Structure 1
Amino acid sequence: MQKRAFWFALVPVMLMVLGWLGWTPPALALTEEQRLVSEVWRVVNRAYIDETFNGENWWKVRQQALRSPLRTREDAYEAIEEMLAKLDDPFTRLLRPDRYRNLQVNTAGELTGVGLQIAIDADTKQLKAIAPIAGAPADLAGIQPGDVILAIDGVSTESLTLDEAAGRMRGPVGTEVTLQVERFDGGAIEDIALVRDRIALHPVMADLRTVENSPNTQIGYIRLTQFSANAAEEMAEAIASLENEGADAFVLDLRNNPGGLLQAGIEVARLWLNDSTIVYTVNRQSILGSFDAGHEALTDAPLVVLVNPGTASASEILAGALQDNGRAKLVGERTFGKGLIQSLFDLSDDSGLAVTVAKYETPNHKDINKLGIMPDFVVKQNPIQRNEVGTESDRPYQTAVELLTESGVMAKAG
């Protein structure tokens, strides 16, 4: 009798353990919508960086989500978003099929919309501009990093997720969208009408400059606007071309570069670094991984990197690697401070799931999340027009040129 009681008591314990692993008894067949919710739960359970799940009982969260009435796919999406919201992590999010396709197109090299990278501020929960894409409608209209987006076509952004806001800004070429913007530098609120356009992502712009007061010095100016899939290839072409034209030194402009693909950032760093650690990654078990550069740098010419509050994510990985390895000096203002890494997971209904899976540290083990990287030379950006970026009117750029032309300030990297 005692044995029967023991096994009877053990059965619910075993079911609890199996349930925690994501197993569901065959008798309790799930609907298609419930399976999608459960699929998302399992991905987060396995991969999310915080094994406490923001202090939530993650198994209980799953049970609550599955008890919701899930009659339609939209019901399932809403249950998933409610489940993910408990993590209090705006970067871990559901990407509905159309938005997931848009994201894949974006990183591949082309999109339609206003060309504005956005994020939800971790402290204020406001929707903020990280950086406009160079030459895109948002850039031409003068939207700046740090500007708060209060409304999109009259819809308050307080009630919108990051992807919902991005989706409202996208749309067919030639259509109009109005953003209500609160300026970061003075608090002025204005409505800005933008006409959506096709945005070809050629992330690298480069040219050779002769220094006016040092005619024997040729500087290669490279502006990198985003880490899309073709960023490393275009960067390699720019470095090789400028060196062939006689570049003695380089200015790499990462201002308003919001990041992009982690792997693209690693590949770009390898073009500048020899035999160095580029970045460390730290997962939920606090296990360190790293990405390293071999002996394949394309140039050892002196280098200065320009950064500002719009320099984020993969841009900060690159800037931190170049700074910590002594390969370059950083000029400008403190960077944005996004030190988290997301992975994208395909879901069974063609939607996607972005999950924060790790954080990164610079080669000197600096955790920059919410802190940013402080440049070696702090130079506040002076008010300039868009066409004055990288010219003598651009104070941080001029500081970079002065560093490169002052004798002994910048030695070649070995």
Structure 2
Amino acid sequence: MAISKQGLVIGATAAMLTAFAVNISGIYSPGKAFFKESPKQLVDEVWQVIDRSYVDGTFNQVDWQNIRKEYLSRTYTTKQDAYKAIRQMLEKLEDPYTRFMDPEEFKSLQVETSGELSGIGIQIAPDEKTKRITVIAPMEGTPAAAAGILAKDIITKINDKSTQGMNINEAVSLIRGKPGTEVNITILRNKQQRQFRVKRAKIELHPVRYSYQNSPNGGTGYIRLNQFSANASSEMRNAIKDLEKKNVAGYILDLRSNPGGLLYSSIEIAQMWLDEGTIVSTVDRRGTKDLEKANNRALTDKPVVVLVDGGSASASEILSGALQDNKRGVLVGTKTFGKGLVQSVRSLGDGESGMAVTIAKYFTPNGRDINKAGIKPDVVLELTEKQKEKLVSDRTKVGTPGDPQYDKALSVLTKQIAAQRSPRAEAVR
């Protein structure tokens, strides 16, 4: 399976940045008018995309041929009828990442790729076990983060509407809205209900922020990567180059609460840190394996410590897994989210709607399947609830000595730098 720069997504959530959707090729050729007049054809198109591309040839133990008979035997008078049937059909796969997007949802997805969206700045997904709608991470600097919503919070109500049995698309639709309007979010955290009234805003997405920080063994380059969006690799390249000019002694790469994004973005960024070695392998349902490797174009060979947590998902896990397996970086924090699946985003034949379909699994360089398992850091440091809330209430402390996980990362980095300078010294993890 060749990895393309278009349409391949490994974000953990439905509300996720993606590349601009690609057209389906080789399935249907009728014009848009045909699909508008024949909503049943749209249902069949989605069925065929799954039939040809879905990662699991057993379709998660679903009789996919029988599903086609069931849904094509129905009468559809409007596209809305078809949309509803498509959602029902895809839900039978029990794969939260394979989903249908109506025109409004699909347009929103494309708007996000421009680096701007309207909402509260939150990533959500159904919990793998409970199916409850769960916060993966609030985006840094957004209304959700400012309000105090945290990773792992369970959303029980949106505007007083229960989320029990609600699909992810409906939840996203209720949370999003025009800038300046408010949404009421009810959260379950540590068995306690909490209410958050959050004002929606227009959110500009800048995936990288960085700074030069003084430290005992020379300057430290601190880089925080929030998302693997289309412009993440160029911003990361600029950050590393600028910090190299300042002659930093080492780096702290902060991937905490980074829910993922584009597959090619994670590969390009890994190549900036790795001079050689495998970055990731992907395997489709036919067993076709594709390897992505470093290209001898690393921008730095300085020591690097990577901060991760339960909100570090997907593309974050590819990058951190590549650095860990190649012994290029030391991971500090808590176990990552655990999403080892790749989606392809496609536009559909009506010219308005789209879908995301899981097409492959990915593995770390050492062959680890991290789906549902996550990646365990080399140095584990769990924040207390009080410490988490303190950082949420004052985001300026993130990535500073007031951040306990940053403090630990700096301590580990200091030992790494000392070990590099003294051949007889041993790096301590």
* TM-score exceeds 0.5: yes
AA partner of residue 153 (structure 1): N
User: Within the alignment, does 1:377 sit opposite 2:379 as a pair?
Assistant: yes
Using the alignment, how far apart are the partners of 1:284 and 1:338 within structure 2? 17
Q: Give the match's secondary structure for 2:273.
A: coil
User: Share of identical aligned residues, percent?
Assistant: 47
Distance 2:418 2:75 in 1: 67
**Is 1:144 aligned to 2:135, yes or no?**
no
Greater relative contact order (Cα 8 A, min sep 6): structure 1 or 2?
2
Amino acid corresponding to residue 356 of structure 2 in structure 1: A
- Given candidates 126, 129, 143, the residue that maps to 1:123 is 129
Q: Does 1:311 align with 2:312?
A: yes
Instruction: Report the Cα distance in structure 2 between the residues aligned to 1:139 and 1:160, rounded to whole angstroms.
Output: 23
CA distance in 1, matches of 2:408, 2:163: 38
CA distance in 1, matches of 2:418, 2:346: 46
C-alpha displacement of 1:410: 5.2
Residue 357 of structure 1 is matched in structure 2 by 359
Q: CA deviation at 1:194?
A: 0.4
Q: Is the 8 A contact 2:212 2:221 kept in 1?
A: yes
1:108·1:228 contact (CA, 8 Å) conserved in 2?
no
Which residue of structure 2 lines up, in the alignment, with residue 260 of structure 1?
Answer: 261
* Residue type at the aligned position of 1:366: R
Report how far residue 85 of structure 1 moved.
1.0
Aligned to 1:273: 274
1:262, CA displacement in angstroms? Answer: 1.0
**1:68: Cα distance to partner?**
2.1
Aligned to 2:184: 178
Cα offset for 1:246? 2.3
Q: Which segments of 5 or more consecutive residues in structure 2 lack a partner in the other structure?
A: 1-25, 29-33, 422-429
8 Å contact from structure 2 (residues 303, 416) kept in 1: no
TM-score (ref. length: structure 2):
0.86
The 2-side partners of 1:235 and 1:405 are apart by 23
Q: Specify the code of the residue in structure 1 equivalent to 2:376.
A: M
Q: Identify which of 384, 402, 407 aligns with 1:393.
A: 402
Distance 2:300 2:161 in 1: 49
1:233-244 equivalences in 2 (<5 Å): 233-244=234-245
What is the deviation of 1:107? 3.1
Within 2, Cα distance between the matches of 1:405 and 1:95?
Answer: 48
CA–CA distance in structure 2, aligned partners of residues 108 and 322 of structure 1: 29
1:69 partnered with 2:104: no
Greater CA deviation, 45-54 or 103-112? 103-112
The 1:410–1:159 alpha-carbon spacing in structure 2 relative to 1, beyond 3 Å, is farther
The aligned runs of 1:25-36 (5 Å cut-off) are 32-36=38-42
* 4+ aligned runs moved over 3 Å, structure 1: 407-412
Shift, 1:120, TM fit:
0.3
User: Is the contact made by 1:403 and 1:410 (CA closer than 8 Å) also made in structure 2?
Assistant: no
- Give the equivalent residue in structure 2 for 1:163: 169
Deviations 1:302-334 (A, max 9, x none): 100000000001010000001001110000000
Shifted more, 359-368 versus 265-274: the winner is 265-274
1:399 Cα offset (Å): 1.0
What SS class does the counterpart of residue 136 from structure 2 fall into? strand
Number of aligned residues: 382
1:198 equivalent in alignment to 2:170: no
Q: CA deviation at 1:409?
A: 6.1
Instruction: Give the secondary structure class of the aligned counterpart of 1:59.
Output: helix
SS in 2 for 1:297: coil
CA deviation profile, 1:180-208 (whole Å, cap 9, x unmatched) = 1011xx22101100000011100001000
Cα separation, 1, equivalents of 2:359 and 2:311: 23
CA distance in 1: counterparts of 2:104 and 2:417, whole angstroms? 54
Distance 1:333 1:59 in 2: 42
Letter of the 1:367 partner, please give it.
D
The separation in 2 between residues aligned to 1:408 and 1:240, in whole angstroms, is: 19
What residue identity is the alignment partner of 1:240?
K
CA RMSD of aligned residues (A): 1.7
Moved more, 283-292 or 366-375: 283-292
Structure 2 CA distance for partners of 1:410 and 1:341, relative to 1, 3 Å: farther
